[in-house]
């Protein structure tokens, strides 16, 4: 079995103990010899096989845990899991806890994701997706006068679009950015209320996106989505320039 060879190579490889073990497990996970659902051998045995002490092995296991790759279950064992997106949210939370200057950059990624997703949505969306989009659309109309729930409705619509695209990867990425973006936009949301043309923008744009998807026109769908983001960006810009003063002045 190749495992023995790998372990031998592992023992000799220079890295610090933790690095060795982490790299070893990583390799195994990536190569597929450890698949989701598998249970690792007991820590004591594994540590012995890898030539490290149990604390070190556990460091590596913990590291994999925060990545969502494995799950350490008390008195049961370490189970290989298929990482879910919740980890990403953790990460983004840490990553952007302080600095807000990355927001615009993350926004670029969100635009990328959604523009691709809306194309796919135009091709792949099912009737069920149409219904969800329709629902989200009506929610936007209903909540048009409320900043908070309006923001949520907006978010839900976009999310529905991405889901209609039927690409898990895009969904995961989108969810990851949404968290941080929502957090950052919450503060500005009231500002947006100021502009009156905004309501039309919110309702009409989303309806156009919806229509494009229903119309099975990827090209058009993306164009509309892009315009939507461009206008939104413009609004934000004006809000930023106008500053809090003019806002409070009404």
Partner DNA sequence: GTATGTATCTTGGTCTGACCAAGGTAAGAT
Partner DNA sequence: ATCTTACCTTGGTCAGACCAAGATACATAC
DSSP code, position 39: B
Kindly write out the interface string for residues 84-113 of this chain, putting x where it contacts a copy of itself by CB under 8 A and - elsewhere: xx-xx-xx-xxxxxxx--x--xx-xx-xxx
Stretch binding DNA (CB under 7 A), from 25-33, 43-51, 180-188, 225-233: 43-51
Neighbours of 138 (CB within 10 A): 12
Please list, residue by residue across 118-133, b when 16 or more beta carbons sit within 10 angstroms of its beta carbon and e when fewer do: bbbbbebbeeebbebb
Q: Is 120 near a copy of itself (CB under 8 A)?
A: yes
DSSP H helical segments within 125-167, as ranges? 127-142, 147-164
Side-chain half-sphere exposure of 232, counting CA atoms within 13 A: 20
Q: What minimum distance in Å lies between the beta carbon of 187 and a copy of itself?
A: 14
Give which of 123, 126, 128 is closest to 216, Cα–Cα: 123
Place of tokens 């990403």: 88
Q: Is the Cβ–Cβ distance between 95 and 179 less than 8 Å? A: no
Q: Is 74 near DNA (CB under 7 A)?
A: yes
* CB closer to DNA, 25 vs 192: 25
Residue 77 partner contact from a copy of itself, DNA, none using kind-dependent CB cut-offs of 5 to 8 Å? DNA
* CB closer to a copy of itself, 155 vs 229: 229
Q: Is 16 near DNA (CB under 7 A)?
A: yes
**Residue 21 CB burial class (10 angstroms; 0-12, 13-18, ≥19):** buried
Q: Is 230 near a copy of itself (CB under 8 A)?
A: no
According to CB under 7 A, which one of 26, 28, 38, 43 is a site residue for DNA? 43
According to CB under 8 A, which one of 8, 9, 11, 35 is a site residue for a copy of itself? 35
According to CB under 8 A, which one of 10, 46, 52, 117 is a site residue for a copy of itself? 117
Residues in region 11-30 near a copy of itself by CB under 8 A: 16, 18, 26, 29-30
Instruction: Report the distance separating Cα 146 and Cα 149, nearest Å.
Output: 6
Q: Is the Cβ–Cβ distance between 171 and 162 less than 8 Å? A: yes
- Point out which residues bind a copy of itself (CB under 8 A): 16, 18, 26, 29-30, 32, 35-36, 55, 58-60, 62-63, 65-69, 74, 82-85, 87-88, 90-91, 93-99, 102, 105-106, 108-109, 111-113, 115-117, 120, 165, 167-170, 172-173
């Amino acid at each position: 079995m190749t495992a023995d060879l790998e372990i031998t190579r592992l023992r000799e490889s220079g890295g610090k103990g933790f690095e060795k073990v982490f790299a070893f497990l990583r390799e195994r996970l990536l190569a597929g010899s450890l698949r989701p659902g598998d249970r690792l051998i007991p820590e004591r045995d594994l540590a012995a096989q890898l030539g490290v002490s149990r604390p070190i092995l556990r460091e590596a296991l913990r590291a994999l845990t925060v990545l969502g790759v494995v799950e350490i279950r008390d008195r049961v064992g370490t189970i290989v899991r298929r990482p879910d997106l919740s980890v990403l949210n953790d990460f983004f939370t840490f990553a952007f806890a302080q600095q807000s200057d990355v927001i615009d950059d993350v926004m670029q990624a969100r635009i990328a994701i959604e523009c691709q997703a809306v194309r796919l949505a135009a091709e792949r969306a099912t009737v069920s997706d149409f219904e969800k989009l329709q629902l989200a659309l009506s929610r936007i109309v209903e909540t048009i006068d409320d900043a908070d729930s309006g923001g949520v409705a907006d978010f839900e619509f976009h999310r529905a679009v991405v889901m209609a695209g039927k690409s898990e990867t895009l969904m995961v990425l989108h969810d990851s950015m949404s968290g941080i973006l929502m957090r950052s936009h919450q503060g500005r949301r009231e500002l947006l209320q100021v502009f009156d043309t905004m309501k039309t923008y919110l309702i009409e744009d989303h309806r156009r996106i919806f229509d494009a998807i229903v119309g099975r026109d990827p090209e058009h769908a993306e164009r509309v989505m892009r315009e939507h983001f461009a206008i939104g960006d413009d609004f934000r810009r004006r809000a930023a320039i106008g500053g809090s003063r003019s806002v409070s002045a009404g």
